Structure 1
Amino acid sequence: MPSAGMMPQALLDPPFARPRAAPEASRARRWSVLAKLAVTVAILGLLAAGADWASIASRLSAADPLLLAAGFAMKAATLPLAALRWRAVGRAAGFAMTRWQAFRLQMASGFLGQILPGSVGADLLRGWFTWRLGHPAGAVMLALLVDRLMALLGVLLIGLAGLPHLAAVAPPAVAWTVLGGALALGLGMAVLLVAGRLPRERLPLPRSLRDGSLGRSLWTAVGELRAMAGRRAAWAALGHSVGVHLATIAATILFARSLGLPLGWLDGLAIVPAAIVAAALPVSLGGWGVREGAMVAGFALLGLDPDAALLVSLLIGASIAALSLPGGVFWLLLRNETSSLPDSSR
């Protein structure tokens, strides 16, 4: 069991007690972080160089404080919804958490995901804490996978709902890209579910995937995913995921209207899902830069001011950062709680 003093370094490593990485892996990880930092700085730098900061400051000073507060409150609503999603996928994977425990894990991982580099840092840290609280490692890893799948499915469902409006305001290539991505994901999941019902020997797979340890592990995971598709908790997680994204869209609309932009629900359904997906891509730090670029591009399709679009995205990012700060308290409490657990609890 790592001591309390060793905990911060342990949080930087992959979860579930993986040994210390080799020097080559450590160098690769450092280069990965530097590359993401470069992408973040480059995109934000380009957007900042082309922005009219006097206009942005004027818009912010004239913003409606009530609508700003309402947007912040809607963004805050994503935290309990995300915690409920984690609790639901945990039930589907075979372990139980209370709502309060799931919320603590969500807050702590969200805080650390803001201050530590990594593509899926918040997810891994949530899983790490969940494992340290005594839940089976295999079930936690499965829950992490399903949690990401449900988040992606939720945003794609919302994107499909906004596709007709997107097709009306965007070039055909944009709408076809969204539709093609949704169909590709649906087809991929259908293939997995169908393939999971067949013996490995009947599938046209390389021998290493049929008979090797990697193949057995992958097949076990596919079987678990297929089993989870029939569990109500998994579908509840999908509902919570849709709720998280709808709250983000509502926050975007409220922030935009506080600045005097006539952004409606159809507009939000059409352009915000792309920004959500962009922010989740493992190419920048905390989604900064790519989220702003996607938001500016989306607002441009609607003929809205790009400077105001940049400000709206910065307000979203700032609200995420502010809402993550209380998670530091939950992190300290969980850190002390898990460091005192005996080895047998895991």
Structure 2
Amino acid sequence: MTDRLRRIGLAALRFALSGLLLWLLLRQADVTALAGRLAGVDPGWLAAAFALTAVQVVLISWRWAFIMAGLDAAIGTARALRINLAAFFLGQALPTSIAGDVWRVWRLRALGHGVGTAVRGVLVDRTTALLGLVAVVLATGPALLARMPDPAMRGGLLAGLGTGMALLALALAADRLPGRWLSGRLRGVAEFGRTVRGLLARPLTAVPIVGVSALVHLLAGATMWLIARGLDVPVGLVDCLVLMPPIVLVAGMPLSIAGWGLREGAVVAVFGLAGVPVEGALLMSILFGALLLLVSLPGGLFLALGETRTAGAALSPRRAGSDR
């Protein structure tokens, strides 16, 4: 009961944080200007942004299928796409940030793969996504810092990036720590680090995985630019490519509901560096989140119609044995 109350309390806090942040941002905005921009949005640009968002989901699913194949647990891109869409839907619909990952692990287990393999596959996928984000931030870092006149903001960005890279490096090299440190949960971290390094040590696997991860983050910037064009917000493609990576990093923090509120605050703050008004930046972020939700809707159908039934079939001894 205590654990259940704790989960309910955390969910309530996330809802409250998302609502509070959105309310504070709306208070800063001119509601008339917001309504005017929204009424004049160009549906053609939004359709292009939706298509590019869907492309990102396909690329992410291909990356995960590629990783699972490297772990000798092939699932195929089509199945990875179905599972990922359901996971994205759960991530958008439920107040917990790990619901989608739990679903992915459960589906892999239902397909006959071991729990350890399933967990490693999901964690490696998450880690390579982060590696791609770090690569993009490092590549665009000089341009990003040039757009930050405030030394405190630049210092905060560098400190955050440095801390994140240090923690990532520690996780990847955990198995090389002295033996007395490798106890309890660190043993699992060490095994995870060996798995990631094994994939990244081979160019034939490292280049596609990290390359696709970086490309996905660049496409997120291009998607935001398409949304800006649809809203007639004066911001360039290069600005969007440079400014989106830190926003993605902030929105991914497990503090709110599907990043709502955190993402909008980050977009307003960061795109303000490029001269984007509060109303334009806020609408850009809201439409970006709405497109993510719209793309994930087929995942709800897979949950209700397809994946649940196939899960039951996969749990049968005959199917599980054939997948192994």
| Fold conserved between structures, TM > 0.5 | yes
Other structure's SS at 1:95 match? coil
Tell me if 1:336 matches 2:309. yes
Amino acid at match of 1:138: G
Tell me if 1:233 matches 2:212. no
Tell me if 1:173 matches 2:152. yes
Tell me if 1:144 matches 2:112. no
Partner of 1:242: 214
Does the aligned pair in 2 maintain the 1:163–1:175 contact within 8 Å?
no
Partner of 1:116: 94
Deviation at 1:77, TM superposition (A): 1.4
Q: Write 1 or 2 for the structure with the bigger share of helix.
A: 2
Tell me if 1:25 matches 2:3. yes
Q: Give matches, 1:298-309, under 5 Å.
A: 298-309=270-281
Q: Which moved more, 1:140-149 or 1:163-172?
A: 163-172
Does the aligned pair in 2 maintain the 1:105–1:130 contact within 8 Å?
no
From 165, 181, 195, the equivalent of 1:186 is 165
Partner of 2:66: 88
CA-atom RMSD in angstroms:
2.1
Does the aligned pair in 2 maintain the 1:159–1:269 contact within 8 Å?
no
Q: 2: distance between equivalents of 1:189 and 1:281?
A: 15
Does the aligned pair in 2 maintain the 1:67–1:255 contact within 8 Å?
yes
Q: Which moved more, 1:90-99 or 1:294-303?
A: 90-99
Q: 2: distance between equivalents of 1:307 and 1:26?
A: 39
Q: Are residues 335 and 308 of structure 1, via their aligned partners in 2, closer, same or farther at CA, if it must alter by over 3 Å?
A: same
Amino acid at match of 2:313: S
Deviations 1:249-287 (A, max 9, x none): 111001112222222232113321122112211000111
Q: 2: distance between equivalents of 1:28 and 1:277?
A: 26
Number of residue pairs matched? Answer: 316
Amino acid at match of 2:191: T
Flag structure 1 segments of 5+ consecutive residues without an equivalent: 1-22, 202-206
Q: Are residues 101 and 61 of structure 1, via their aligned partners in 2, closer, same or farther at CA, if it must alter by over 3 Å?
A: same
Flag structure 2 segments of 5+ consecutive residues without an equivalent: none
- Percent of residue pairs bearing the same amino acid type: 35
Q: Are residues 109 and 193 of structure 1, via their aligned partners in 2, closer, same or farther at CA, if it must alter by over 3 Å?
A: closer
Does the aligned pair in 1 maintain the 2:33–2:279 contact within 8 Å?
yes
Deviation at 1:343, TM superposition (A): 4.9
Deviation at 1:161, TM superposition (A): 2.5
Partner of 1:223: 194
Other structure's SS at 1:325 match? helix
Amino acid at match of 1:135: H
Q: Give matches, 1:27-46, under 5 Å.
A: 27-46=5-24
Other structure's SS at 2:34 match? helix
Does the aligned pair in 2 maintain the 1:112–1:122 contact within 8 Å?
yes
Deviation at 1:318, TM superposition (A): 0.8
Q: 1: distance between equivalents of 2:185 and 2:38?
A: 54
Amino acid at match of 2:253: L
Q: 2: distance between equivalents of 1:72 and 1:179?
A: 32
TM-score normalized by structure 2? Answer: 0.90
Tell me if 1:274 matches 2:246. yes
Deviation at 1:177, TM superposition (A): 2.9
Q: Are residues 278 and 189 of structure 1, via their aligned partners in 2, closer, same or farther at CA, if it must alter by over 3 Å?
A: closer
From 20, 37, 40, the equivalent of 1:59 is 37
Q: Are residues 132 and 74 of structure 1, via their aligned partners in 2, closer, same or farther at CA, if it must alter by over 3 Å?
A: same
Partner of 2:112: 134
Does the aligned pair in 2 maintain the 1:86–1:147 contact within 8 Å?
yes
Q: 2: distance between equivalents of 1:215 and 1:248?
A: 34
Q: 1: distance between equivalents of 2:184 and 2:261?
A: 40
Does the aligned pair in 2 maintain the 1:93–1:143 contact within 8 Å?
yes
Deviation at 1:45, TM superposition (A): 0.9
Tell me if 1:105 matches 2:83. yes
